[in-house]
Amino acid sequence: MSKGYNVAVVGATGAVGVEMIETLEKRGFPVKTLRLFASERSVGKKLKFKGTDVAVELLKVGIFEGIDFALFSAGASRSKEFAHGAAKQGAIVIDNSSAFRMEPDVPLVVPEVNPEDAKLHKGIIANPNCSTAILLVALYPLHKANPVKRVVVSTYQAASGAGAKAMTELEEQTHMLLHGQKNIKIEALPQRIAFNIFPQVDVFLDNGYTKEEMKFVNESRKIMHHPTLKISATCVRVPVYRAHSESVNIEFERPMTPAEARAILSKAPGLKVVDDPANKKYPMPIDASGMYDCLVGRIRQDVSRDDGRGIELFVSGDQLLKGAALNAVQIAELLV
C-alpha cells in the first residue's frame, strides 16, 4: 500500500458519507488527496480528515478527472446521473445505492464472501443493501461448510438505515413523548418510530413483500453465486438509533449441530461470536454500534425439525459500517 490514491466521497455530508471519511482514516487507506462532493446546500461545509479541514464541493458532471476511487453514497438517482461519467473519467466507482446492484455486468461485493468478483468490474462496483451484507457475513461461512437450501429472516432495523434525518426523528419523537407532547411529527419514516415498531422498510411491491425484503432474495443469490437459494424476509423498523439485528432460520442440505456452526463462525472473517445466554451475553445493536465486526449468537438447533438440518441464530451489525461505509472501503482495499 505504498502508492497514494486520489479518493472522492460523493454524498459526503450524509450519515454514510461521514462514516466513509472516518473509515478511510481509521483503516489507514492510502489517500493522497481526498475530495468531498455533495449537493448545493452542503457546498463549502468543512469536514475533518486526518486533522485537516476539507471543503465540500458541488457534485456536477466532469469533476472526476484524476480520481482513482469514487465512493458514492448519495442515493440511486444521483448514482445513475453521475457514476457512469465518473467511471468514464477513470475512477473506480464503489456505489452504495441500489442503482446498479442487479446489473449483470456490475459486481455486487461483500469482501468476506466474494472478493474475487471485485476484480471483474468495468468501472463500477456495487455495495449490497445493508441488511443483506450483515446477513451474509454470518450465512456464507456456514454455506461453504454445508450448502444452505432455505433461509427465513426477520430484521430489526435501526433508524440509521433510513439516514440521518430518521435518526434525528427518533431522537425528537422520543423527547417529545417523554415530555408529554402530543403533536408528533412524522416525516422521515412512514410511521412513528419512538416507542413503536412497524413492518415496513421501503415500498411495497405487487407480491406483498417490500423492496427491502426482495433485496435480500436477489442480492443474496447474486453475491453467493447461489441462484436456487430460497429466502424469505420480513423487514421491521425498530426504535434503535444505529445497528441492525436479524433473526435467522437456516435449512442446510445435511444435518448441522450448534457446536459445528459455532466452530465455523468463530473462525469466520468479519464476525465475533457472542453466545453465552447463561450469562446474558448475545448480540445486541448497542454493542454492535461502532464495531467493524458483526456479532452472532443465540446459535441453536431448530426444534421444529426432526432431521437436524436447521439452525437458528441472531446477528447484529452496524448498518453504517459493515452495512455501508466499511464494506465500500474494504472493496477499495481489495483493489489497491
User: Mind telling me the catalytic residues?
Assistant: 130, 244
- The torsion of the CA quartet 34, 64, 62, 60, rounded to 10 degrees, works out to -40
Q: Where are the alpha helices (DSSP H) in 179-302?
A: 211-224, 258-266, 285-288
Lookup: cell for 288: 454492535
Strand 52-58 and strand 92-95: the pairing is unpaired
**Euclidean distance between CA atoms 175 and 179, whole angstroms:** 6
Measured between alpha carbons, how far is residue 282 from residues 120, 209, 231, 315 in Å? Answer: 38, 29, 24, 9
**Euclidean distance between CA atoms 332 and 98, whole angstroms:** 18
Q: Which helix (H) or strand (E) holds 166?
A: helix 164-178
**Euclidean distance between CA atoms 45 and 13, whole angstroms:** 8
Reference 236, options 197, 194, 206, 208; nearest CA is: 197
Strand 271-273 and strand 244-252: the pairing is unpaired
Measured between alpha carbons, how far is residue 324 from residues 73, 109, 134, 165, 273 in Å? Answer: 9, 11, 10, 17, 21
**Euclidean distance between CA atoms 190 and 280, whole angstroms:** 34
User: Long-range pairs for 297-306 at CB < 8 Å and ≥24 separation?
Assistant: 297/273, 299/258, 299/261, 299/262, 299/265, 299/273, 299/275, 300/258, 301/257, 301/258, 302/249, 302/251, 305/251
Interhelix angle 130-145/211-224, nearest 10 degrees: 40
